[in-house]
Amino acid sequence: MSSRPTPPSGTPTPPPGAPTRARARIRAAFAAAGVTGWLHARDVDTGAELAVDADTPVSTSSVHKLCLVVTLHRLAAEGRIDLAERIEVNPHDRTSGPTGLSAMADPVTISLRDLALLAITVSDNAAADALWARVGTPAINQAMADLGLTHTVAVHRVGELFATIAEDTGGAGPAALADPAVVARLRALDPHHTNRATARDMTRLLAAVWRDEACPPPYGDQVRRLLALQVWPHRLASGFPFDDVRVSGKTGSLPTLRHEVGVVEYPDGGRYAVAVFTRSASTAVNLPAADAAIGQTARLAVDALRVGSGAGVEG
């Protein structure tokens, strides 16, 4: 456990006043970006926290790949699965997507370990679903229950989630997702009908990974390595533009939803798990302000924790 950290060079001093003001600034940042936001930040070592509507269940989208990969490594640690096991993933039964195996044309033989790499680092839907088929939904839910994450539930694979979108749009294709009335009826966005979690559950999961409680060494190290290799810098990492601050995370995106959960590590030893879930009023595919709000609000929360103002705070 580190001693109480001090801000690194370049970190502004948060305004005095405390948790209420920090929460107000976070809510204002969400509103300015045109999104509804749910946030939880947790000091990994002290347990101090800051919450903004952190117990509301939210559709997790690709954030649930983190639950999948943690489960995989727990099973490996128990000797129930071999990370080096190789499987063939064929084009005709791959889940669609823009990255990784989803975008490839030919059959691929790959290890479970590398499927996890692709599922986390580039959010590869095909890799995630191939891994999901091997691990199984019951195992994912059991692992989350064992960790005490009572609001985190896996309902279906990514491909099955996409199938509900196709059904709910009547097969009208991506253009239909620009219609707010169509988006409003998507089961994929309703946490009662799809993979779900709360922001508080996700920081609890991340803290457990960083404390080697979710997976023992060396498996916890492997999960942390994958999260550190994620390639997207436009959300959580955008709030921490310092060479000496490390951000590891997992994004999630669906129409109107933009999320990221991750851990911010400072050179003085400070470690902070942060989960930011957002839903935009606009159905636009590109909404940079919403992406930036994730980094901005995460920074506000972490800054509050680093000066002690967030200890024991509830949203």
Query: Where in the chain are the domains?
Result: 21-308
pLDDT tens string, the chain, 315 residues long: the values are 334 444 444 444 444 556 788 999 999 999 999 999 999 999 999 999 999 999 999 999 999 999 999 999 999 999 999 999 999 999 998 999 999 999 999 999 999 999 999 999 999 999 999 999 999 999 999 999 999 999 999 999 999 999 999 999 988 878 899 999 999 999 999 999 999 999 999 999 999 999 999 999 999 999 999 999 999 999 999 999 999 999 999 999 999 999 999 999 999 999 999 999 999 999 999 999 999 999 999 999 999 999 874 444 444
Phi, psi values for residue 72, rounded to 5° = -55, -45
Q: Give the pTM.
A: 0.91
The span from the CA of 123 to the CA of 126, in Å, is 9
Q: Which residues contact 41 (CB under 8 A, 6 or more apart)?
A: 49, 50, 51, 203, 272, 273, 274, 275, 298, 301, 302, 304, 305, 310
Residue whose structure tokens are 């994730």? 294
The span from the CA of 210 to the CA of 220, in Å, is 7
Instruction: Classify domain 21-308 at the CATH superfamily level.
Output: DD-peptidase/beta-lactamase superfamily (3.40.710.10)
What is the predicted pLDDT for the residue at 3? 40
The span from the CA of 24 to the CA of 13, in Å, is 17
Q: Determine the longest span between alpha carbons in the chain, in angstroms.
A: 58
Cis check: omega of the bond before 218, within 30 degrees of 0: yes
> Which is it for the CA torsion 32, 295, 223, 313, positive or negative?
negative
What is the predicted pLDDT for the residue at 171? 80
* Encoded tokens for 212: 């080697």
Q: How far is the CA of 76 from the CAs of 28, 83, 213, in angstroms? A: 43, 7, 14
What is the predicted pLDDT for the residue at 147? 98
Contact 253, 283 (CB under 8 A): no
Contact 308, 17 (CB under 8 A): no
What is the predicted pLDDT for the residue at 10? 41
The span from the CA of 129 to the CA of 224, in Å, is 21
What is the predicted pLDDT for the residue at 172? 82
Residue whose structure tokens are 């199938």? 163
